[in-house]
Amino acid sequence: MSRINSAVRSVIRSRRVRSAALNSGVAEEFASAYVVPEEADAIGVGRTLRKQGLEISLAYLPLSDDESESPEQIIDTLGHLGGLAEGAELSVKPSSLGLRQDFASAVSVLGDLCSAADDAGAIITLEMQGAAEYEPTLELWRGARGGHPQLGITLPADIRRAERDVADLASEGARLRLCVGSYPVPPSMGYPKERDKQRALVRCLRLAMESGGYAMLASHDPTMIAIAQDLARRNAIPRSGFEFQMFYGVRPLEQRRLADIGYRSRTYVPYGPAWFEYLTTRIAARPRTAFSYLRAVADKS
């Protein structure tokens, strides 16, 4: 499947398709369902989601050449959120903090972001950008969490050591975003089969809930959602004691259903100048959507 997704991504990101999609408006039309290009649009979406009873997670998408500007942009967004900032999550990529260049500086920048979030009543969660970044990202999280206990971390269950880390961090009461993982993992470090990845995610979720962590299940899988509900009941965890996280535009009715019956349901809203790259990644992961996208480009070219 990863080879198919890679091939599809190459096609839809080709210069010819990109130019046709942008010139015809097809890209913007498709993007509106999954990603928002401007900060103002993201805040507007966030306001609508809040009215529906949903929590929000905002993720800034910088162009690769402008990643260093991300912390400043995130702080600006916090300032513009106003009342929406209370309880909002900002999802931050370690690379945008300069982790690959200067660890000490990245810890300092992350601490500044957490302080700004604390002042606004918001929270920060670190993303995980692949197996090679796993240990440095954990160290970055540990380096900043001392003064900011609400700082969250993403642990992809397709990396084998994640289970051990979930058990350790949950015992500290950490906020843990648990997902299958979307970056390639070397066979020596992870689970190559989808079934094994799903089972690992269940084990991580169980460990988090049994060990005192705040679990954030980042999955759209109905079976995983049902398992999370069952684990919460078994461990006497209230509906406000963990949360579900899903992408903007994916299973929106399920997101609202969970919120309506009292669960904490958070929508991940990506925004920023790299919206096209994000869009094509999402489309490549869903072959039917990719077909519709390419057909629309052809029809309007």
Q: What is the pLDDT of residues 17-47, one digit of tens each?
A: 777 767 777 778 878 889 998 999 999 999 9
Q: Identify the pLDDT of residue 6.
A: 63
Q: Taking Cα atoms as reference points, which of 179, 197, 93, 91 lies closest to residue 136?
A: 93
Which segments in the chain show pLDDT lower than 50? 1
CA distance 55 to 181: 22
Q: Identify the pLDDT of residue 22.
A: 72
Q: Identify the pLDDT of residue 175.
A: 98
Residues in the chain: 301
Q: Identify the pLDDT of residue 226.
A: 98
Q: Taking Cα atoms as reference points, which of 269, 276, 249 lies closest to residue 64?
A: 276
Q: Which residue has the tokens 């929270």?
A: 123
Model's pTM, two decimal places? 0.90
